[in-house]
Amino acid sequence: MQLTILIDSGSSETLQNQIIRQMQALIRDGQLRPGTPVPSSRELSKQLQVSRNTVAEAYGHLLEEGYLCTRRAIGTFISDTLPEDAIATRTNPMLSRSPSHRRAVNLPLPYTGRGLPGLHRPIDRALSHDFSLGKIDPKSFPDKTWRRLTLECLGGAAERMSEYNDPAGLPQLRQLIANYLGPARGMVVSPEQIIVVGGCQQGMNLAAHLLVGSNTPVVMEAPCYRGAAFLFESYGAKIIPVPVDDHGLRVSALPAQGAKLACITPSHQFPTGVTLSMDRRLALLDWVCRQNAYLLEVDYDADFRYEDSPLPSLYALDRSGCTLYMSSFSHSIGPGLRLGYLVVPRSLIRAATTIKALIDNGQPWLEQAVLTQFIREGSLLHHLKRIRHTYRSRRDALIAALQRCFPGSRVTGAESGSHVVWRLPPDLPPADELKAIAHASGVGVYPLGDSPSWFHEDYPECERILLLGYTLLGEDQINDAVERLHAALAKGDPSGPASLEP
Amino acid sequence: MQLTILIDSGSSETLQNQIIRQMQALIRDGQLRPGTPVPSSRELSKQLQVSRNTVAEAYGHLLEEGYLCTRRAIGTFISDTLPEDAIATRTNPMLSRSPSHRRAVNLPLPYTGRGLPGLHRPIDRALSHDFSLGKIDPKSFPDKTWRRLTLECLGGAAERMSEYNDPAGLPQLRQLIANYLGPARGMVVSPEQIIVVGGCQQGMNLAAHLLVGSNTPVVMEAPCYRGAAFLFESYGAKIIPVPVDDHGLRVSALPAQGAKLACITPSHQFPTGVTLSMDRRLALLDWVCRQNAYLLEVDYDADFRYEDSPLPSLYALDRSGCTLYMSSFSHSIGPGLRLGYLVVPRSLIRAATTIKALIDNGQPWLEQAVLTQFIREGSLLHHLKRIRHTYRSRRDALIAALQRCFPGSRVTGAESGSHVVWRLPPDLPPADELKAIAHASGVGVYPLGDSPSWFHEDYPECERILLLGYTLLGEDQINDAVERLHAALAKGDPSGPASLEP
């Protein structure tokens, strides 16, 4: 610890006094907080290039005054109870030379984006049964394998932590992702096209930095993910909302001209859960091509497809080189990993790599190294198969329980992903009321309006839609939760079918 | 592995043929590459919801044609040698429906920033003695401690990897950084003001996203770090270069009005290594305040101060709340960690936290968790003390060797940091020539013009300046390197003082 004490050897003040006065100021101003250890007199004398005696005497004085205290065999610390005058005056004499005493109250703030209190809620521990969105089950995390691979990788830590790695990502990881995308998503890509990023949000940011400027018209699905819309707005985008129906984005409602970018979630639309149909995929690509625009495909939840085969990605269908493809490992391994990848068309490789270097110069080495081994040894495919199976059973249990307890429920968006859209039957109260009743009995359910979505006000019957994530709960818990909800509703509403009140 | 095969049960084509045709297409198009394993017939039949026999027969057909091969007891794979017709026609029948066959050649690219081939050169293994900049000695990495702490932290991995953490950083880490900044840099800050970022580059990006828009005038030191200047340009900034002399930024040369942001490296100016004097610090703050502008203080190399005490940071001296302070652990622990922190004034807490959530939603959990423990148990202070000692000895050895072998050398920027500026004595050739001679004998030295700096053309005698990083070499190696260089110069230039040629 080096202290910000300045010795002026030309001053008429003794060296000892200079140290005392400045230490007092540091303590008074809170820069040295109670309980903080101070350097040994030997250390400080070396730093200040004064004799050890001078420092020892200054320390002695401060000890006497009560600014410092010693703990035997440990060292010297700032006192927990300071002399009263220290608390009385909180001005730093070192700073008195500063001419800038005015407080600049009208500083310009060019960024005027929307505030958002956090895109992802923390887990609500008060709920015994939580159908929260975008979480993954800690029990599904491949704990043992991850630990083993981390230990293996740490063997090379000294070398690899000590240098800057390729800002676009570890070459082997990019190669393995390219290999994966062929069979899994129908995409023929070379490793150079892959930029390793810190999750979907950062991939979208990279695309935005590249393609969106002040007043750039950007097409978004309505409803869409709020984190994407606000991000584009923070670059000055003009958002053009285009409605989503049961087949995904209504391509016929796209603007005839002017759009420069469209951001789409085709595999499992957020938040409605619908899959963009093949006809619409082709029509969308045709539109993008005619516009001379770019398409940003956010392949949200694509790893979890439960019925038939995944459709080829828009990237795979695109013949015009206008699609950027984004995916992440947040839903398959965990959001704490902060790893994903953006695939860019060949024409954008140089620009995207430059931007990645400029905005953060690459992801941390260790996570990338561990993920590389995880994919290489086949553990990722194995893990995906295992959790796909788990999530499918949970989804089935949820749908069955809803149909059993609440006949007439319409559940959509269940073909893939990690949440379903529950359209409430007419005899149930609106989503907001139902949420309050459910939360009171420890069951977390989430109205569309509460989710991190945007432009949902015009979505048909939006106030009668709940989003239920089914990744956190086992099948028995899911049954329990739906039955609890049913009981709570019956209790609250005497006309309910299974009312306990006579 | 789920394949992108679509079964049309209403088609007149048999199910088996549909599978064969689409598998052939995936192989022809390169989506399934030679050597890739295919799903078992059981797995694929489940995915496609067709009988296992149908898949087995389709596989049998593809095996016969040579598209697939089996390896006993392992599984079925794409053949390494494909039937000739597969290589002949590379068109995917699945894609033939796409109307977008045109290639969009004139796609707009709003981003027109400068390309840069990588901000940091990889270590040149051909050099036996490398005075490269911005590297850290792998031997100085706290290997054992880091391994122990990583293992400890991994105990909580399943929980913490499965959720989104606070985008601004782990609360404990932010608290510990706030505690550190008091005594070390004279700064009184609360944890809310600290945003954990992925290194200096990302911290500057966060500040830029917040404060820089199209045509925003930004003051930069001349010369300065190229990665900073190009980053601001990528947001549309108008860069105003202000020259640096032996006392740092020439504050008297600052523009009288118009600037909205000034980006400064006061502790150890990059690349000149000078420390901004106290008078200039106060004058700069006064100027910023009068401009109603912001100051971004990049506290490059502040952890390594070898003579007397570190000066208080600009943030500590600022009374007007206009300073953002950036520091990172890249030089103290390692750049592969990708961790640093941006301290924002109270008025920017909300905006900065929002931007961090929007641009990448936070740093990975594990690195933050390990660093938290590393600081908490006192290992960071211990580590800093140790490498400060090591680097000081290396610096001393370098200066002594230069003075001994090349009398008349002026070495500046040595009070702190991890590199010195060597101003060549008149009897030596210009920096570029000297570099070539040195590299030929395995010694890496770097002319100012080769460093990742900008606006250095007008710096006095810029063609006679070499930057020497002294972190990678031990004291003996440093002596060796300087002597080698001396010998090489003497050999190349018969008039040299220690010429070996008569």
- Superfamily name and number for A129-137+382-491: Aspartate Aminotransferase, domain 1 (3.90.1150.10)
For residue B374, what pLDDT is reported?
98
Q: Which of residues 30-69 of B touch A (CB under 8 A)?
A: 30-33, 36, 38, 47-49
Q: List chain B residues with CB under 8 Å of A157.
A: 141, 143, 146-147, 336
**Residue B213 forms contact with A (CB below 8 Å):** yes
Residue A378: count other Cβ atoms within 10 Å of its Cβ. 10
Q: Calculate how close chain A gets to B278, using CA atoms only, in Å.
A: 10
For residue B87, what pLDDT is reported?
45
Q: Calculate how close chain A gets to B489, using CA atoms only, in Å.
A: 31
**Residue B444 forms contact with A (CB below 8 Å):** no
**CA A65 to CA A42: how far, in whole Å?**
21
For residue A457, what pLDDT is reported?
82
For residue A66, what pLDDT is reported?
82
Contacts of A301 (CB under 8 A, 6+ apart): A267, A268, A331, A416, A417, A418
Q: List chain B residues with CB under 8 Å of A193.
A: none
**CA B408 to CA A445: how far, in whole Å?**
77
Residue B155 token pair: 């105990």
Are residues B336 and A164, on separate chains, in Cβ contact within 8 Å? yes
Are residues B98 and A319, on separate chains, in Cβ contact within 8 Å? yes
Q: Which of residues 168-187 of B touch A (CB under 8 A)?
A: 179, 182-187
Contacts of B499 (CB under 8 A, 6+ apart): B490, B491, B493
Contacts of A148 (CB under 8 A, 6+ apart): none
Task: Please answer whether residues A163 and B335 qualify as being in contact, where contact means their C-beta atoms are separated by less than 8 angstroms.
Answer: yes
**Residue B101 forms contact with A (CB below 8 Å):** yes
For residue A167, what pLDDT is reported?
94
The H or E element containing residue A443 is strand A443-444
Are residues A227 and B358, on separate chains, in Cβ contact within 8 Å? yes
Are residues B162 and A135, on separate chains, in Cβ contact within 8 Å? yes
Task: Please answer whether residues A288 and A295 qualify as being in contact, where contact means their C-beta atoms are separated by less than 8 angstroms.
Answer: yes
Q: List chain B residues with CB under 8 Å of A311.
A: 4, 6
Are residues B118 and A7, on separate chains, in Cβ contact within 8 Å? no
**CA B395 to CA B393: how far, in whole Å?**
5
For residue B225, what pLDDT is reported?
92
Output the average pLDDT for chain A.
87
**CA B188 to CA A219: how far, in whole Å?**
45
For residue B36, what pLDDT is reported?
84
pLDDT over 70 for what percent of chain A?
A: 90
**CA B487 to CA B480: how far, in whole Å?**
10
- Please state the ipTM of this predicted complex: 0.85
Task: Please answer whether residues A465 and A445 qualify as being in contact, where contact means their C-beta atoms are separated by less than 8 angstroms.
Answer: no
For residue A322, what pLDDT is reported?
93
**CA A457 to CA A3: how far, in whole Å?**
57
Whose tokens are 């290489």? That residue is: A376
State the alpha helices, DSSP H only, in A66-142. 84-88
Q: List chain A residues with CB under 8 Å of B36.
A: 179, 182-183
User: Which of A2, A183, A197 is nearest residue B310 as measured by Cβ atoms?
Assistant: A2
For residue B34, what pLDDT is reported?
82
Q: A185-227 pLDDT, tens per residue?
A: 889 999 999 999 999 999 999 999 999 988 899 999 999 999 9
For residue A26, what pLDDT is reported?
84
Q: List chain A residues with CB under 8 Å of B164.
A: 119-120, 122, 134, 335-336
Q: Where are the beta strands (DSSP E) in B22-145?
A: 68-71, 75-78, 129-130
List Cβ<8 Å contacts ≥24 apart for A241-249: A241/A455, A243/A458, A243/A459, A244/A269, A244/A272, A244/A274, A244/A459, A245/A274, A246/A274, A246/A412, A247/A274, A247/A276, A247/A277, A247/A279, A247/A280, A248/A274, A248/A275, A248/A276, A248/A277, A248/A280, A249/A221, A249/A276, A249/A280, A249/A284
Alpha carbons within 13 angstroms on the beta-carbon side of residue B141 total 24
Task: Please answer whether residues A108 and B260 qualify as being in contact, where contact means their C-beta atoms are separated by less than 8 angstroms.
Answer: yes
Whose tokens are 């045109």? That residue is: B102
Most A CBs within 10 Å, among B164, B280, B342, to test the A interface: B164
Residue A47: count other Cβ atoms within 10 Å of its Cβ. 21
Q: Where are the beta strands (DSSP E) in B17-152?
A: 68-71, 75-78, 129-130
Q: Is the pLDDT of residue A103 over 80?
A: no
Q: Calculate how close chain B gets to A188, using CA atoms only, in Å.
A: 5
Q: Is the pLDDT of residue A312 over 80?
A: yes
- The residue among B364, B372, B196, B174 whose CA lies nearest residue A335 is B364
Most B CBs within 10 Å, among A74, A360, A472, to test the B interface: A360
Query: How long, in residues, is chain B?
Result: 502
**CA B330 to CA B345: how far, in whole Å?**
23
Query: Which class does domain A15-106 fall in?
Result: mainly alpha
Tell me the average pLDDT across A65-72: 83
For residue B449, what pLDDT is reported?
87
Angle at B295 between CA B293 and CA B299, to 5 degrees: 180
Per-residue model confidence as pLDDT tens for chain B (502 residues): 778 888 888 888 888 888 888 888 888 777 888 888 888 888 888 888 889 989 998 998 888 878 888 887 778 888 887 775 544 444 443 443 333 333 334 455 556 566 555 556 677 788 999 999 878 899 999 999 999 999 999 999 999 999 889 999 999 999 999 999 988 888 999 999 999 999 999 999 999 999 998 889 999 999 999 999 999 999 989 999 999 999 999 999 999 998 999 999 999 999 999 999 999 999 999 999 999 899 999 997 778 888 777 788 999 999 889 999 999 999 999 999 999 999 999 989 988 999 999 999 999 999 999 999 999 999 999 999 999 999 999 999 999 999 999 998 999 999 888 999 999 999 999 999 999 999 999 999 999 988 888 888 888 888 999 999 999 999 999 999 999 999 999 886 544 444 433 3
**Residue B188 forms contact with A (CB below 8 Å):** yes
Q: List chain A residues with CB under 8 Å of B320.
A: 100, 102-104
Q: Is the pLDDT of residue A88 over 50?
A: no
Alpha carbons within 13 angstroms on the beta-carbon side of residue A292 total 7
Alpha carbons within 13 angstroms on the beta-carbon side of residue A76 total 20
Q: Report the CATH architecture of A157-377.
A: 3-Layer(aba) Sandwich (3.40)
Residue A107: pLDDT band (50, 70, 90) is low
pLDDT higher at B460 or A248 = A248
pTM recorded for the entire structure: 0.85
User: Which of A2, A100, A202 is nearest residue B319 as measured by Cβ atoms?
Assistant: A100
Q: Is the pLDDT of residue A499 over 50?
A: no
Q: Is the pLDDT of residue A118 over 80?
A: no
User: Would you list the domain boundaries of chain A?
Assistant: 15-106, 129-137+382-491, 157-377
**Residue A144 forms contact with B (CB below 8 Å):** no
Instruction: Please provide the DSSP assignment of B444-456 as one string.
Output: E-EEGGGSSEES-
**CA B277 to CA A106: how far, in whole Å?**
28
Are residues A205 and B107, on separate chains, in Cβ contact within 8 Å? no
Are residues B164 and A336, on separate chains, in Cβ contact within 8 Å? yes
**CA A44 to CA A60: how far, in whole Å?**
14
Rounded to the nearest 10°, the torsion over CA B372, B375, B377, B383 is 140
Residue A428: pLDDT band (50, 70, 90) is very high
Task: Please answer whether residues B276 and B264 qualify as being in contact, where contact means their C-beta atoms are separated by less than 8 angstroms.
Answer: yes
Q: Which of residues 354-373 of B touch A (CB under 8 A)?
A: 354-355, 357-367
Residue A493: pLDDT band (50, 70, 90) is low
For residue B115, what pLDDT is reported?
56
